[in-house]
Amino acid sequence: MYDCYLTVRSVTWGQKGRDVLDRAGLRCRLLRAPREIAPGGCAYALSLPQRDGIRAEAVLDRAGVPVAGSWIRRPDGSYVRLER
Protein backbone atom coordinates (compact mmCIF):
# COMPACT_ATOMS: atom_id res chain seq x y z
CA MET A 1 0.00 0.00 0.00
CA TYR A 2 1.49 3.33 -1.11
CA ASP A 3 0.50 5.27 1.99
CA CYS A 4 3.66 7.26 2.61
CA TYR A 5 4.02 10.60 0.78
CA LEU A 6 7.27 12.52 0.46
CA THR A 7 6.54 15.95 -0.95
CA VAL A 8 8.99 17.70 -3.25
CA ARG A 9 8.99 21.28 -4.49
CA SER A 10 8.75 20.66 -8.21
CA VAL A 11 8.04 18.01 -10.79
CA THR A 12 11.73 17.92 -11.80
CA TRP A 13 12.82 17.16 -8.26
CA GLY A 14 10.09 14.54 -8.09
CA GLN A 15 11.35 12.91 -11.28
CA LYS A 16 14.93 12.99 -10.08
CA GLY A 17 13.82 11.58 -6.72
CA ARG A 18 11.94 8.79 -8.46
CA ASP A 19 15.10 7.89 -10.42
CA VAL A 20 17.20 7.93 -7.27
CA LEU A 21 14.76 5.67 -5.41
CA ASP A 22 14.49 3.37 -8.39
CA ARG A 23 18.26 2.94 -8.47
CA ALA A 24 18.14 2.12 -4.75
CA GLY A 25 15.54 -0.57 -5.41
CA LEU A 26 12.70 1.42 -3.84
CA ARG A 27 9.52 1.52 -5.89
CA CYS A 28 7.50 4.70 -5.80
CA ARG A 29 4.94 6.69 -7.75
CA LEU A 30 5.24 10.32 -8.66
CA LEU A 31 1.95 12.18 -8.38
CA ARG A 32 0.54 15.61 -7.77
CA ALA A 33 0.40 16.10 -4.05
CA PRO A 34 -3.10 16.13 -2.52
CA ARG A 35 -4.08 19.60 -1.30
CA GLU A 36 -3.89 18.54 2.36
CA ILE A 37 -0.14 17.95 2.13
CA ALA A 38 0.69 20.85 -0.17
CA PRO A 39 -0.13 23.96 1.86
CA GLY A 40 1.95 26.12 -0.50
CA GLY A 41 -0.16 24.99 -3.45
CA CYS A 42 0.87 22.86 -6.42
CA ALA A 43 3.47 20.34 -5.32
CA TYR A 44 4.41 16.81 -6.22
CA ALA A 45 4.84 13.80 -4.00
CA LEU A 46 6.64 10.50 -4.16
CA SER A 47 4.29 7.88 -2.86
CA LEU A 48 5.61 4.59 -1.51
CA PRO A 49 4.88 1.94 1.11
CA GLN A 50 5.22 3.19 4.67
CA ARG A 51 7.83 0.54 5.46
CA ASP A 52 10.18 2.14 2.91
CA GLY A 53 9.62 5.73 4.03
CA ILE A 54 12.57 6.23 6.36
CA ARG A 55 15.00 4.52 4.01
CA ALA A 56 13.68 6.50 1.06
CA GLU A 57 14.18 9.79 2.88
CA ALA A 58 17.75 8.81 3.70
CA VAL A 59 18.45 7.82 0.09
CA LEU A 60 17.00 11.10 -1.19
CA ASP A 61 18.96 13.09 1.37
CA ARG A 62 22.22 11.44 0.32
CA ALA A 63 21.42 12.23 -3.33
CA GLY A 64 20.71 15.88 -2.50
CA VAL A 65 17.01 15.68 -3.34
CA PRO A 66 15.23 17.95 -0.86
CA VAL A 67 12.08 16.53 0.73
CA ALA A 68 9.66 19.24 1.81
CA GLY A 69 7.56 17.01 4.05
CA SER A 70 6.84 13.41 5.00
CA TRP A 71 3.25 12.33 5.38
CA ILE A 72 1.27 9.19 6.12
CA ARG A 73 -2.20 8.67 4.73
CA ARG A 74 -4.47 7.17 7.39
CA PRO A 75 -7.14 4.60 6.49
CA ASP A 76 -9.79 7.32 6.91
CA GLY A 77 -8.13 9.37 4.15
CA SER A 78 -6.63 12.03 6.39
CA TYR A 79 -2.91 12.79 6.44
CA VAL A 80 -0.51 13.09 9.35
CA ARG A 81 2.83 14.81 9.02
CA LEU A 82 5.82 12.96 10.32
CA GLU A 83 8.46 14.92 12.23
CA ARG A 84 11.88 13.39 11.66
Partner 1 sequence: MIYLDNAATTLRKPPQVSAAVLEALRSCANPGRGGHAAAARAEETVYRTRKLASEFFGLEPEQICFTANATEGLNIALRTLVRPGDRVVLSGLEHNAVTRTLTGLGAKLVPVTAPIFDADRWAEAFAAALSAGASCCVCLHASNVFGALLPVDQIGALCAERRIPFVVDASQSAGLLPVTPERWQAAFTAMPGHKGLLGPQGTGILLCREQPLPLRFGGTGSLSMDQKMPRELPDCLEAGTLNVPGIAGLGAALGWLRLQNRAELLKREKKLLHAVLRLRALGAELWTGPDQIGVLSFRLPNRDPEETAARYARAGVALRAGLHCAPLAHRTGGTLPEGTVRLSLSVLTEPKEIERFLSVTKSLLK
Give me the 7-46 binding string for partner 1, x by CB under 8 A, dash otherwise: --xxxxx-xx--x-----------xx------xxxxxx--
CB of 9 to partner 1, least distance (A): 5
The answer for residues whose C-beta is within 8 angstroms of residue 55's C-beta and 6 or more apart is 24, 26
Position 55, amino acid: R
User: Which residue number, 15 or 50, has a Cβ lying nearer to partner 1?
Assistant: 15
Instruction: Give dist(CA 63, CA 72) in Å, integer.
Output: 22
Position 51, amino acid: R
Q: Which residues make up the interface to partner 1 (CB under 8 A)?
A: 9-13, 15-16, 19, 31-32, 39-44, 64
